[in-house]
Amino acid sequence: MSGANVKMSDTVSLFGGRVPAEVDMLYKHLKNVNRETFTQILRAVVNAIGGQDCCESVREISESGFISEESLNHVMAGLYALLKEALCQPSLKQEVFSDDLRALRFSEELLADLVAVVFGNRQTSMNVSDKHEGPHLAKIEDLKWRVDVAISTSSLSRALQPSILMQMKLSDGCTHQFEVPVAKFQELRYNVSLILKEMNDIEKRSILKIQD
């Protein structure tokens, strides 16, 4: 195998071996960007990943004149793709990421900045963007209920049977209306409190064992 035709970026593990073009070419566009501008762009990209609106800051950067608009576009695209990928991997190790960045030909300075963003003091997970939510089932958006007592029916003149009617509006738009017999309601209530108890147990113990 000819070593000369192997690109350095083939050794990057971050994107599963297929580095996107904008990330591959990032180092070229960053050659003429000064440190301060880079920091500004980096901050804007991180905000964008977090779902915040960064039009203002991007406009400021492009108006400052320190970087051409074309370069700015390339740099932002590349940084966005790179950081989004890195931030979404729960088990990414710092050394592995640093090696990847070196393979992508980042200078040590910029490398340090990027590593700080990904592995800096974030206690909780970063919410990458509400637009790209992971797969999920319907959640209860609205729950209406009523308790009825059937006094009389066509079968019994004195029934006196309580029952519960529930109307659930779900996040996927469906509405379900159904009766819950009292015995089933108790079963539902029991199961929900059982799950809550299990959740409490998990939160107390497993978190300590599962390493970040």
Partner 1 sequence: MSSIIPETPSIKAAVTHINSIDNSKFSRLLTRILQKLHLKERSFSQEEEEKLQSALSLERHTLQLLLETVSFILEQAAYHNVKPASLRQQLENICISPQKAEVFSQMWAADAADLLEKIRLGIFAPMKLDRVSWQLNLQMARSDESRLKAPHAVLNLGLRAEDHSERLQDVFLEFSHQDLLDFYNQMETVQTQLDSLA
Which of 8/159 has CB closer to partner 1?
Answer: 159
Binding stretches for partner 1 (CB under 8 A)? 87-90, 124-129, 132-140, 143, 145, 147, 149-150, 153, 155-159, 161-166, 168, 170, 176-182, 184-185, 187-189, 191-193, 195-196, 198-199, 202-203, 206-207, 210, 212
DSSP code at position 173: S
**Residue nearer to partner 1 on the CB measure, 87 or 117:** 87
d(CA 20, CA 143): 45
* Residue in 118, 128, 122, 105 with CA at minimum distance from that of residue 42: 118
Least distance between partner 1 and beta carbon 194 (Å):
8
Nearer to partner 1, 69 or 141 (CB): 141
How far apart are alpha carbons 83 and 137 in whole angstroms? 28
As a residue count, the chain comes to 212
Using CA atoms in the order 111, 117, 118, 119, what is the torsion angle rounded to 10 degrees? Answer: 90
Specify the residue, 1 or 210, whose C-beta has the smaller distance to partner 1.
210
Contacts of 161 (CB under 8 A, 6+ apart): 149, 150
CB of residue 2 vs partner 1: minimum separation in angstroms? 37
Least distance from partner 1 to the Cβ atom of residue 184, Å: 5
Question: Which residues, including other chains, have CB under 8 Å from residue 149's CB and lie 6 or more apart?
Answer: 160, 161, 162, 163
Amino acid at 32: N
Q: Which is nearer to partner 1, 55 or 207 (CB)?
A: 207
Minimum distance from residue 168 beta carbon to partner 1 (Å): 8
Phi, psi angles (nearest 5°) of residue 30: -85, -5
Q: How far is the CB of 53 from partner 1 (least distance, A)?
A: 18
Neighbours of 128 (CB within 10 A): 16
Provide, rounded to whole angstroms, the least separation between the CB of residue 166 and partner 1: 8
Map residue 199 onto helix, strand or coil.
Answer: helix
- Comparison of 95 and 212: residue with beta carbon closer to partner 1: 212
